[in-house]
Structure 1
Amino acid sequence: MQGKILNPQLISGDDGKRYEYDKNDVVNLGNKDLALLTGSQVDFVSFDERVAKSIYIISENVNVSGILSVDSISSARAKALWGIGILIFSFIPDIGLQFFNFIPDIWQNIGYIIGIVIFVLYSMAIYSVSKAAASKSLFKNYIIALIISFFGLSLLILAIIIMGVSAVLLFGGMLVLIVEIYFYKVHAELARLSGSSLFLWSFWINVVSVLLYFVFIIFAGFANFIFSLASAVSIIAWVLHFIAWWRFGKVEKR
């Protein structure tokens, strides 16, 4: 018999009846979260009128509300992958500037919207992991890094106005160092929880790209080469970070 998952405990059969079930009876569930599979089509057998057994998922449904509301590793993984994946669209304005020497106003506005969406999705992913893993430090360190980044950037802009570009080296260097310390803590904990060193690899490679951007600011004579190199390194870090989240299936026990 076939039917549709209504929630993590109930299936609506094609015969009009509803069947209770246990997740251990979903044969091909794997590391998936049932809360994210609401609406998915399943095939099952039933030896009475109330319980479904030997359940196979035959067509998965993307449950967006479940992804956004559930605090689990599967939900966090989905949020992070969507956020990191959307990041690629933020390069569109740069491509327009590089090849056409202008950025349409509409793409500037879209860029802002994309940035907000990425921030929200990724923040929700970190929060979901911290809740699912019962971590007291992961989300806290992430928020501290964001707060320092926001207020630090405001102070840096003020310093540049007063002191000029030299402020980038003085205040910018101190700001980046403090922020990266907290982001290191976030990535180190993600690496521990997931059992994947790719989180740390992506972090350190991203640090290299940040340093290259600093060099780009200092040595304007080599601007094109350094900026291109920094961008390439940044993309490598982005790819590794995406793969790290893609492989994040469950919390590794200590």
Structure 2
Amino acid sequence: MIRAIALDDEPPALRVITRFCEQIDFVDLQKTFSRTDQALTYLEQFPVDLLFLDINMPSMSGIDFYKSLPQQAVTTDRMVIFTTAHAEHAVEGFNLNAVDYLLKPFTFDRFLQAATRASDYYQFLHAPAPARHTYIYIRADYRLNKIAVNDIVFIEGLDDYLKIHVQNSKPIVTRMTMKAILQKLDETEETGEGFLRVHRSYIVPVSRIEAIKNKSLLIAGQEIPIGASYEADFQKRFPA
């Protein structure tokens, strides 16, 4: 059960969150607050797993409140879902590694989607090691996205961004380095022979390589070049 609190200066918004949480069996909304000082006092005594935070509040924004929290005030996972009536605040909330953001007024289905993301991430962080390594979490589109490792077709580098091509889904574009995504993938298990960087702009799952010809390989009908600086490592995996 995920322990949560909600902070919003508008009582109607707190009533909506309370009503929605009552319909979800994996979120225990322990308290609601309309003042930041009361919420902070509570958190210093009773750490929680998830915070629903309104961004636009008069005394202190939800973002500033979240930044000001002492480490002991929440569990180490520090999950937060920001709520806001202003879409332009979403970017700043996303930069604080929010699980999701809800644009007011939001429906129960949208609220459930955000809460489910928090639940999935909570289970991922707390599950035994063998159970948590079949997927990765990537921040994109102002939310945390769960990607099954076996569904990754290939990864393409685009300057400061990565384009993760996923089976039966649209690609996910995220601000991330090739080194960082490889580290995430190296931590996974049950991925067959794993992933291999074959070019400065491409990482491929070894199990999805369909054909190798000259200095390129074929994956899902896409021809991917093998870079000169990666050719030696590739030849070790696939000797002629």
> Under TM normalisation by the shorter chain, which class is it?
under 0.3
- Looking at both structures, which has the greater relative contact order when contacts are Cα pairs under 8 Å and sequence separation is at least 6? 1
Task: Select the structure of larger CA radius of gyration.
Answer: 1
TM-score (normalised: structure 2): 0.26
Give the TM-score of the pair, scaled to structure 1. Answer: 0.25
